[in-house]
Structure 1
């Protein structure tokens, strides 16, 4: 959600056109993924221009034509935290536009009727596949800047400097100050708020250790590539300490 605000402000500051296709289609009761795979490629080609526009955010990988001609910002969060957050947003905080009412209410009922452990394991294959697509088609490419969600919430100033350095045009000092002053990642947790919880490592606070171990195994390649698990022995030691702490509690 905050990325949407940043992109919108950047486009205005740089005199570019901002287009949030996912957001527009969502409000209209449609799906960008379906548009990509069900329609004539000419329609997709006409949706994108390699200059003068800022697109996004995209919440999953899409095969946008001529991807190599764009400057791409790839911002990803630890998938274990993504899955944990997905449970709470599905069960409690997703906005329900009238166009999506039936779909969202059904997903909400399904999430509420599951415990969080079962929910994250059920959805982990989709998350893994999506991250694998990012790895195959975007991560490490010359035209792609990788910025982690964790860096954004821990050190927003440095994160913003890296973002601004990568842009084809230099944003104004006024925008920089506006974004710095507007960034607030210290929130009191509220399961009914869209900005419910922003800290990294949420999976360790919400999931049982055995579930984290299962996720670590299923997502091991992704976790290593992006640096969310740097040392397997250290990860094992930390999970053991977490198990002891939860047992004491």
Structure 2
């Protein structure tokens, strides 16, 4: 089901090269660059005031993993710590081709 949804999205994006595709990893590890990409795409100047307003809304810090919270932790790639190697291999086999369409390597 997840692969099918990713394929639908990849096909839609292939038909719309003018769309902006953003990655979660960039959002949480390089928020400034991520915000700059959005501002440039929208042709909106990224002022210090706008950056400060957005920073209030986009705090990706956590005080540690809490499974009872929606935002448990934000570390990209954390699945490698939690899943068995054979599970990761199966996910890579199943999702790899479509993930590569979004510039992920598996």
TM-score, normalised via structure 2 length: 0.85
Q: Does 1:178 align with 2:53?
A: yes
1:157 Cα offset (Å): 0.1
Residues 28 and 74, structure 2, Cα contact 8 Å, conserved in 1: yes
Contact 2:36 2:46 in 1 (8 A): no
Aligned to 1:221, which of 93, 97, 100? 97
Larger Rg over CA atoms: 1
Q: Which has the higher contact order (CA 8 A, sep 6+)?
A: 2
1:45-97 CA deviation, whole Å, 9 max, x = no partner?
xxxxxxxxxxxxxxxxxxxxxxxxxxxxxxxxxxxxxxxxxxxxxxxxxxxxx
Aligned residues: 104
Q: Partners of 2:57 and 2:11 in 1: how far apart? A: 34
Query: Could you state the TM-score of these two structures normalised by the residue count of structure 1?
Result: 0.39
Structure 2 gaps of 5+ residues are: none
| 1:199 and 2:46 matched | no
- In terms of fraction of residues, the more strand-rich structure is 1
Matched, 1:212 2:93: no
Give the root-mean-square deviation of aligned CA atoms: 1.9
- Runs (4 or more) in structure 1 with deviation over 4 Å come to none
Q: Which residue of 2 aligns with 1:153?
A: 28
Of the three residues 8, 13, 37, the one matched with 1:162 is: 37
Q: Which has the higher helix share?
A: 1
Q: What is the Cα deviation at residue 143 of structure 1?
A: 2.4
- Kept in 2: contact 1:139–1:146 (CA 8 A): no
